[in-house]
């Protein structure tokens, strides 16, 4: 020692004076230093340094690991404690502290370590929030933690010694999970309801060093709170996605979210400054009224007369008097003061001719003359009267097909079909289904003083339904659910039975692996069979399947399918 400080020689002296054997290895696993005690250990045991390092290297990475390890030498054991050799720059290798131990001493040391480990594992087991059940290799319950009592409300001691399958009746075990793990020796996960909880069971096989299964650990997690949180988050995401990200445009009852409806709205915007005749084509129930109202709202005639008539509701004998009016005393039963027709009532404004495809050929001739001449002649009048009317015609029929069949005048068709706006069916604009659903829920909640909400599960179902009745059908379904569902959260099970049955009936499936041509043929057959249940004519089926009517007729004969009347 010099000036009160240890020298290298002092450290070397102390190092060699230690009773324990020390070996220091570098990051390459090479011995860089060893004390005198380690040399005596090698001489007394007859085990070389190389054998010592090889033995412990098989148990641990001597460069990176640490801990307590042992190697047998005859009846005795060499115990090795591995510690990291640290410098300012990090780990530089390892320090091995070795000593020889008799069998009994070594066993006691091992037992102490096992007991310490057991106490640590037991504390972890008892503090776990998940329920844990351990069975032996026969499926007999040998360990149950405290969380099981909280989850199931049972005394855990009452479960010990029973086979797992014997307590299925109590609802604690999902039937067969332990048996599946024992047979497959693989992890098995299942879910099950218990009272108001949703539980997830995970069975894990425990095997020994010879890969023999010794026990099964079943972890039981209550995910009810997680599910509620997930559903809440999904609800909020759905709102954000629908109300913000997708930039919904809402005007009265009009919901515009899908690309097809946005195209329709853009066409309405473009024609807002002109008075051209508009022909509105659509399927029944697509929300014609709101489209017509939007055309009127955006037009230059907004605020002026807006007259709506249903052509299909006017008898042929009254068509002329209703549309064109009559003079006083022009026929028996006529009003004394005469009557204005719909065209005169709509003068300077807009006239909606709804269901224009229902007009008879005779009525079509009279309508054509008014459109061409822009004047009406009242029954009994001596001269016509000029009218300034913007016409919107609407129909759910294919007017061009009617022209080819001779039931609709070609000249009237061309007069009406100046600007055609097709309202896409709901199944072709599925992005609008959820916004519409939310609108209807809000509407009927106010009407019936309810507080119903749309679940994410029901939203997924509604989006995938075909809605052949379009918006009107969706509105009716939502109203039914609002009125009849006891819960405030609308779920798929709350749908009317008709829709559950229709979804099941409409499924097109191919079982197993079969030749592609056979699968295509079976798909065709099922589609036609499903369409036969919904439509009355081959023309309707052809329109729905987007094929020629002749193709439908040929395929029906081929598959021996008859139409239902």
Is a pLDDT exceeding 50 seen at residue 244? no
Q: Is residue 244 part of a domain?
A: no
pTM of the model: 0.47
* Interval 310-316 mean pLDDT: 87
Share of the chain above pLDDT 70, in %: 81
> What is the per-residue pLDDT for 1?
53
Q: What is the CATH number of the domain that holds 309?
A: 3.40.50.300
Q: Which residue has the higher pLDDT, 287 or 235?
A: 287
pLDDT band at 349 (very low <50, low <70, confident <90, very high): very high
- Tell me, what's the pLDDT at 108? 56
Q: What share of the chain is helix, strand, coil (3-state, %, to 5)?
A: 50, 25, 30
What value does the mean pLDDT take over residues 69-78?
Answer: 77
* Residue showing tokens 């037991």: 122
Say if residue 21 is in the same domain as residue 91.
yes
- Whether residue 166 has pLDDT greater than 70: yes
- Last residue of a domain, which of 37, 70, 102? 102
Residues 492 and 379 in one domain: no
Q: Which of 476, 513, 515 is nearest to 496 (CA)?
A: 476
Angle formed by the axes of helices 549-558 and 538-545, nearest 10°: 110
Identify whether 405 is part of a domain: yes
Tokens of 7: 């020298």
Per-residue confidence (pLDDT) for residue 388, from 0 to 100:
94
Averaged pLDDT for residues 379-398: 90
- Minimum mean pLDDT among 194-208, 461-475, 520-534: which range? 520-534
Same domain, 280 and 416: yes
Question: Does a structural domain hold residue 251?
Answer: no
Q: How many structural domains is the chain composed of?
A: 5
If you average pLDDT over every residue of the chain, what do you get? Answer: 80
Name the one residue in this structure whose structure tokens are 């006017």.
314
Query: How many helices, marked H, and strands, marked E, lie in the chain?
Result: 21, 23
Contact 480, 496 (CB under 8 A): yes
Instruction: Examine the domain organization and report whether 454 and 352 are in the same domain.
Output: no
Percentage of the chain surpassing pLDDT 90? 20
In three-state form (DSSP H/G/I as H, E/B as E, the rest C), the secondary structure along 191-236 is EEEECCEEEEEEEEEEECCCCCEEEEEEEEEECHHHHHHHHHHHHH
Residues 299 and 389: beta-carbon distance below 8 Å: no
DSSP of 305-360 = -EEEEEGGGS-HHHHHHHHHEE-TTSSTT--TT-EE-HHHHTTTSEEEEETGGG--
pLDDT above 60 for 252: no
Which stretch of 90-99, 116-125, 156-165, 387-396 has the lowest confidence by average pLDDT?
116-125
Task: Report whether 21 contacts 44 (CB < 8 A).
Answer: no
The string of pLDDT tens digits covering residues 324-334 is 888 875 555 55
pLDDT band at 195 (very low <50, low <70, confident <90, very high): confident
Q: How many CB atoms lie within 10 A of CB 292?
A: 21
The CATH number that applies at residue 453 is 1.10.8.60
Quick check: is 276 in a domain?
yes
Question: Residue 51 is encoded by which pair of tokens?
Answer: 């054998």
Beta strands in 463-536 (DSSP E): 489-490
pLDDT at 404 over 90: yes
Q: Which residue, among 324, 384, 389, has the nearest Cα to 351 in the 3D structure?
A: 389
Q: Which residue has better confidence, 353 or 533?
A: 353
Four-residue CA torsion sign, 470, 473, 479, 480: negative
How far apart are the C-alpha atoms of 451 and 537, rounded to whole Å? Answer: 43
Decide if pLDDT at 55 tops 60.
yes
- The residue segments making up the domain with residue 125 are 113-225
**Quick check: 129 pLDDT over 70?**
yes
Contact indicator for 279, 419 with CB cutoff of 8 Å: yes
The contacts of residue 439 (CB under 8 Å, 6+ apart) are 250, 253, 255
pLDDT (0 to 100) of residue 174: 62
Same domain, 483 and 496: yes
Examine residue 33 and state whether it is found in any structural domain, yes or no: yes
Q: What is the distance, to the nearest Å, from the Cα of residue 310 to the centroid of all Cα atoms in its chain?
A: 42
Q: Which residue would you say has higher pLDDT here, 562 or 333?
A: 562
Distance CA 550, CA 547 (A): 8
Indicate the DSSP class of residue 243. I
Cα–Cα distance measured from residue 376 to residue 399, given in angstroms and rounded to the nearest whole number: 25
- What's the confidence (pLDDT) of residue 40? 85
Clarify whether residues 14 and 89 are in a common domain.
yes
How far apart, in whole angstroms, are the C-alpha atoms of residue 478 and residue 439?
10
What are the structure tokens assigned to 179, written together? 């048996």
The pLDDT tens digits of the residues spanning 528-540 come to 877 776 677 888 8
Neighbour count for residue 457 (Cβ, 10 Å) = 15
Question: Does residue 294 lie in a domain region?
Answer: yes
Phi, psi of 246 (to 5 degrees): -85, -5
Residue 241 pLDDT level (bands cut at 50, 70, 90): very low
CB-based burial label for 416 (10 Å; 0-12, 13-18, 19+): buried
* Enclosing H/E stretch for 256: strand 254-256
**Mean pLDDT throughout 397-420?**
93
Inter-axis angle of helices 456-464 and 224-240, nearest 10:
50
- In this structure, the answer to whether residues 16 and 86 fall within a common structural domain is yes
pLDDT for the residue 546 = 85
**281 lies in the same domain as 420:** yes
**62 within domain boundaries:** yes
Check residue 406 and give its pLDDT: 93
Is the distance from CB of 394 to CB of 356 less than 8 angstroms? yes
pLDDT grade, residue 112 (50/70/90)?
A: low
Question: Which domain-ending residue is among 102, 132, 147?
Answer: 102
DSSP state of 88: T
Do the Cβ atoms of 342 and 313 come closer than 8 Å? no
Q: Choose the weakest-confidence range: 73-82, 135-144, 397-406, 450-459.
A: 73-82
pLDDT tens column, 430-483? 888 899 999 999 999 999 999 999 998 888 888 878 888 888 999 999 999 999
361: which residues sit within 8 A by CB, 6+ positions away? 407, 409
Q: Give Dmax (Cα) for the chain.
A: 141
Among 225, 247, 267, the domain-final residue is 225
Is the pLDDT confidence value at 144 over 70?
yes
Q: What is the pLDDT of residue 14?
A: 77
Higher pLDDT, 306 or 137: 306
Q: What is the predicted pLDDT for the residue at 104?
A: 47
The β-bridge partners of 67 are 82
Residues 466 and 488 in one domain: yes
Same domain, 383 and 276: yes
Lookup: tokens for 358: 């229902």
Q: Decide if pLDDT at 510 tops 50.
A: yes
Q: 11-22, pLDDT tens digit by residue?
A: 777 777 777 788
* Residues 392, 351 contacting (CB under 8 angstroms): yes
- Nearest to 74, CA basis, from 39, 110, 44: 44
Whole-angstrom distance, CA of residue 100 vs CA of residue 119: 27
182 pLDDT higher than 90: no
Instruction: Mark whether 409 and 443 lie in a shared domain.
Output: no
Look up the CATH number of the domain holding residue 25. 3.30.450.20
In the structure encoding, which two tokens stand for residue 193, read together?
């309801």
Q: What is the model's pLDDT at position 81?
A: 84
Which is higher by pLDDT, 363 or 120? 363
Exposure of 191 in the CB half-sphere (CA atoms within 13 A): 7
- Does 381 lie in the same domain as 318? yes
Average pLDDT over residues 199-218: 85
214 touches 208 (CB < 8 A): yes
Rounded CA separation 412/279 (Å): 12
Which has the higher per-residue pLDDT, 360 or 115?
360
**Residue 19 C-beta-side C-alpha neighbours within 13 Å:** 2
CA distances for 6 relative to 16, 35, 246, angstroms = 15, 18, 76
Place of tokens 């070795």: 98
Q: Domain for residue 348, yes or no?
A: yes
């Amino acid at each position: 020692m010099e000036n009160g400080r240890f020298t290298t020689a002092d450290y070397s002296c102390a190092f060699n004076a230690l009773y324990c054997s020390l070996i220091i290895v570098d990051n390459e696993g090479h011995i860089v230093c060893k004390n005198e005690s380690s040399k005596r250990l090698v001489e007394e045991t007859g085990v070389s340094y190389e054998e010592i390092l090889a033995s412990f290297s098989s148990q641990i990475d001597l460069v990176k690991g640490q801990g307590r390890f042992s190697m047998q030498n005859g009846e005795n054991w060499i115990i090795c404690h591995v510690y990291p050799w640290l410098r300012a720059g990090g780990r530089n290798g390892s320090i091995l502290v070795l000593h020889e131990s008799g069998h009994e001493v070594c066993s006691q040391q091992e037992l102490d370590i096992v007991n310490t480990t057991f106490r640590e594992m037991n504390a972890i087991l008892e503090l776990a929030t998940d329920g844990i059940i351990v069975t032996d290799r026969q499926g007999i319950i040998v360990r149950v933690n405290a969380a099981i009592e909280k989850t199931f409300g049972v005394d855990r001691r009452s479960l010990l010694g029973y086979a797992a399958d014997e307590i299925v009746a109590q609802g604690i075990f999902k039937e067969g999970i332990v048996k599946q793990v024992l047979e497959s020796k693989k992890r098995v996960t299942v879910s099950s309801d218990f009272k108001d909880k949703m539980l997830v069971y995970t069975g894990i096989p425990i095997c020994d060093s010879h890969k023999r299964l010794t026990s099964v650990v079943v972890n039981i997690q209550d995910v009810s709170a997680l599910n509620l949180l997930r559903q809440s988050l999904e609800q909020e995401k759905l709102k954000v996605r629908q109300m913000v990200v997708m930039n919904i445009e809402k005007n009265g009852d009009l919901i515009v979210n899908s690309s097809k409806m946005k195209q329709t709205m853009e066409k309405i915007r473009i024609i807002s400054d002109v008075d051209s005749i508009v022909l509105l084509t659509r399927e029944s129930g697509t929300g014609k009224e709101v489209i017509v109202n939007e055309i009127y709202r955006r037009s230059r005639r907004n605020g002026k007369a807006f007259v709506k008539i249903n052509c299909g509701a006017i008898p042929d004998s009254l068509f002329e008097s209703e549309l064109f009016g009559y003079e006083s005393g022009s026929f028996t039963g006529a009003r004394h003061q005469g009557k204005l027709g719909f065209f005169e009532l709509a003068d300077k404004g807009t006239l909606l001719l709804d269901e224009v495809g229902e007009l008879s050929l005779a009525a079509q001739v009279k309508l054509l003359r008014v459109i061409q001449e822009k004047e009406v002649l009242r029954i009994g009048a001596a001269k016509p009267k000029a009218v300034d009317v913007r016409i919107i015609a609407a129909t759910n029929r294919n007017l061009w097909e009617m022209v080819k069949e001779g039931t609709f005048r070609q000249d009237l068709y061309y007069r009406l079909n100046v600007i055609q706006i097709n309202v896409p069916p709901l199944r072709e604009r599925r992005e609008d289904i959820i916004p519409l659903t939310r609108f209807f829920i809000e509407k009927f909640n106010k009407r019936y003083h309810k507080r119903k909400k749309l679940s994410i599960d029901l939203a997924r179902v509604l989006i995938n339904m075909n809605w052949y009745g379009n918006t009107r059908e969706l509105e009716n379904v939502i109203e039914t659910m609002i009125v009849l569902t006891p819960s405030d959260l609308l779920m798929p099970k709350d749908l009317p039975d008709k829709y559950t049955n229709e979804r099941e009936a409409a499924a097109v499936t191919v079982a197993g692996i079969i030749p592609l041509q056979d699968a295509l043929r079976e798909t065709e057959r099922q589609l036609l069979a499903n369409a036969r249940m919904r439509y009355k004519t081959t023309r309707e089926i052809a329109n729905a399947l987007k094929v020629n009517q002749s193709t439908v007729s040929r395929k029906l004969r081929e598959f021996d399918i008859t139409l239902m009347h």
